[in-house]
């Protein structure tokens, strides 16, 4: 695994009526993740066009640190909170910078 910075875009869509429950769990995850080793940026954005859609924009010092996050305590608590029951759709994109 490379030690170059990694950007993650994770797009979520809540099931109808589950927006508040999913949002609360996501916001708790953000607060816990911001203090993790290697986390450079961890933001949650709300779609202006569809209130069910929220997008995580993440930057990690390395893919190894992102993978540690994915297996870490905050993510385990997030998954155990029942978020799978709130999600209608999920997509994750691992990105590397090509310009700038």
Res 100: pLDDT: 77
Fold for the domain defined by 6-95? Alpha-Beta Plaits (3.30.70)
Q: What is the pLDDT of residue 10?
A: 98
Residue 79 has a pLDDT of 95
Q: Which pLDDT score, from 0 to 100, does residue 2 have?
A: 64
Report the candidate in 70, 67, 62 with the shortest Cα–Cα distance to residue 5.
Answer: 62
Q: 82 — alpha (psi -120 to 50), left (phi > 0) or beta?
A: left
Q: What is the pLDDT of residue 12?
A: 98
pLDDT at residue 81 in the model: 94
14 Cβ neighbours under 8 A, 6+ residues apart: 21, 22, 23, 52, 53, 54, 86, 87, 88
Q: How far is CA 36 from CA 24, 56, 77, in A?
A: 19, 16, 14
pLDDT at 36: 97
pLDDT 10s per residue in the chain (100 long)?
A: 567 899 999 999 999 999 999 999 999 999 999 999 999 999 999 999 999 999 999 999 999 999 999 999 999 999 999 999 999 999 999 999 898 7
């Amino acid at each position: 695994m490379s030690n170059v910075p990694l950007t993650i875009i994770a797009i979520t869509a809540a099931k109808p009526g589950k927006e508040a429950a999913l949002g609360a769990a996501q916001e708790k995850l953000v607060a816990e993740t911001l203090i993790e080793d290697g986390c450079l940026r961890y933001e949650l954005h709300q779609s202006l066009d569809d209130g069910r859609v929220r997008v995580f924009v993440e930057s990690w010092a390395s893919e190894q640190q992102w993978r540690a996050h994915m297996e870490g305590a905050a993510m385990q608590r997030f998954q155990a909170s029942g978020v799978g029951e709130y999600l209608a759709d999920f997509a994750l994109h691992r990105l590397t910078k090509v310009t700038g």
